[in-house]
Amino acid sequence: MLHRDVLRLLFPSELSGVFDKDTETEGAHLDLAQARAEQLLLEMFPDKSMKLLPDWERVCGLTPGADDPQQLRRDRVIRKLREIGGLSIPYFTLLAQSMGYTITVEELYPFMAGWGRAGDPLYVEESWWIWRVNISGQALYYFTAGQSAAGERILWWPPVTELEDILNDLKPAHTYIVFDYS
């Protein structure tokens, strides 16, 4: 039932003329307000957000790239909201896996008498605070009706720097990461 019909039911008698046009106009405004409220209900969750997606990104501290499709932007917001954090190798491995990458993490240790063996690499003492991330795999985003916007590419993949940015953002502050793509 339209709001104009509801407004007409509120009057004690049948109205016509100018009053009918007023109820028509006011009913149209109320219909529009209801439609916008229903849209806002969808926008309040990041997985369905379109108009408020920039606000979600601002709240999460994310800066989208110029070519980033909406699907990727939504995934980043959801991933950021679901982050619980961690400092273990399995945490970083699962984080990369959720982004579509397969990584292995190596902790570099300096060669030490009693621990090192013939053939072990000779790292400097500062390598205690360096770890190597070996990256393979690539996240792909396909154009999907209802998830993507008009004008976006059919197939898109994020630059690999996305993974580097997230790992550098979450790593312990006193450490350094070397990324290996071989």
User: Which pairs with CB-CB distance under 8 Å and at least 24 residues apart come from 171-176?
Assistant: 171/92, 172/87, 174/129, 175/129, 175/130, 175/131, 176/129, 176/130, 176/131
pLDDT at site 182: 63
57 with 77: CB under 8 angstroms?
yes
pLDDT at site 56: 92
pLDDT at site 32: 93
What is residue 63's three-state secondary structure?
Answer: coil
The listed range with the strongest mean pLDDT (52-66, 106-120, 157-171) is 52-66
In angstroms, the CA 130 to CA 67 distance is 33
Percent of the chain with pLDDT over 90: 13
Tokens describing residue 150: 């008009």
Tokens describing residue 108: 């570099």
Q: Quick check: 33 pLDDT over 90?
A: yes
Q: Quick check: 107 pLDDT over 90?
A: no
Confidence at 115, pLDDT banded by 50, 70, 90: confident
In angstroms, the CA 85 to CA 148 distance is 29
In angstroms, the CA 78 to CA 16 distance is 52
pTM for the complete prediction? 0.53
149 with 70: CB under 8 angstroms?
yes
pLDDT at site 101: 85
Confidence at 123, pLDDT banded by 50, 70, 90: low
Note the pLDDT tens digit of each residue in 54-99: 999 999 888 888 888 999 899 889 988 887 778 889 999 988 888 8
